[in-house]
């Protein structure tokens, strides 16, 4: 158990629908990151929150949005879903060791859009 909790683990939905993925970071970590991993590909950075504030945006579609709440958990909202949105969505939280910002990943939420 990495300490980063993601729900749901699996989600199957239809095109045009909206889903919400949830992430609870490790205790004490203030940063949350969202990544998308399509089949057999590397990770694509979506967005980074630090203590409730958006810090950086990557290749996140306008149909996607995220937020981090006062209790530091985060939600990633995906709307108007398309077949190509099927992927593994990772949440990670971070802590610093010797200056390095080390990310700890959750187990991922696998989204299948039919």
Partner 1 sequence: AQTVTQSQPEMSVQEAETVTLSCTYDTSESNYYLFWYKQPPSRQMILVIRQEAYKQQNATENRFSVNFQKAAKSFSLKISDSQLGDTAMYFCAFMWDSNYQLIWGAGTKLIIKP
Cis bond before residue 8 (omega within 30° of 0): yes
Tell me the closest approach of the beta carbon of residue 56 to partner 1, in angstroms. Answer: 6
The residue from 15, 17, 38, 41 that contacts partner 1 (CB under 8 A) is: 41
Find the length of the chain: 114
DSSP percent split of the chain into helix, strand, coil, nearest 5 = 5, 55, 40
Please report which helix (H) or strand (E) contains residue 112, including its range. strand 109-113
Q: Is the dihedral of CA 43, 49, 51, 52 positive or negative?
A: negative
36 is a contact residue toward partner 1 (CB under 8 A): no
Q: Is 95 in the site for partner 1 (CB under 8 A)?
A: no
Question: Taking the complex as a whole, how short is the minimal distance between the CB of residue 80 and partner 1, in angstroms?
Answer: 26
91 in Cβ contact with 106 (< 8 Å):
yes
Tell me if 108 contacts partner 1 by CB under 8 A.
yes
Nearer to partner 1, 93 or 113 (CB): 93
Q: What does the binding site for partner 1 look like in residue numbers (CB under 8 A)? A: 2, 31, 33, 41-43, 45, 48, 50, 55-56, 58, 88, 90, 92, 94, 97-105, 107-108, 110
């Amino acid at each position: 158990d990495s300490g980063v909790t993601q729900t749901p683990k699996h989600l199957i939905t239809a095109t045009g629908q909206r889903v919400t993925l949830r992430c609870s970071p490790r205790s004490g970590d203030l940063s949350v990151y969202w990544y998308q991993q399509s089949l057999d590909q590397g990770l694509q950075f979506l967005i980074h929150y630090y203590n409730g504030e958006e810090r950086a945006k990557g290749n996140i579609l306008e149909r996607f949005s995220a937020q981090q709440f006062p209790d530091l958990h985060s939600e990633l909202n995906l709307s108007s879903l398309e077949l190509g949105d099927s992927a593994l969505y990772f949440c990670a939280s971070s802590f610093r060791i010797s200056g390095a910002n080390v990310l700890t990943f959750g187990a991922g939420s696998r989204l299948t859009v039919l």
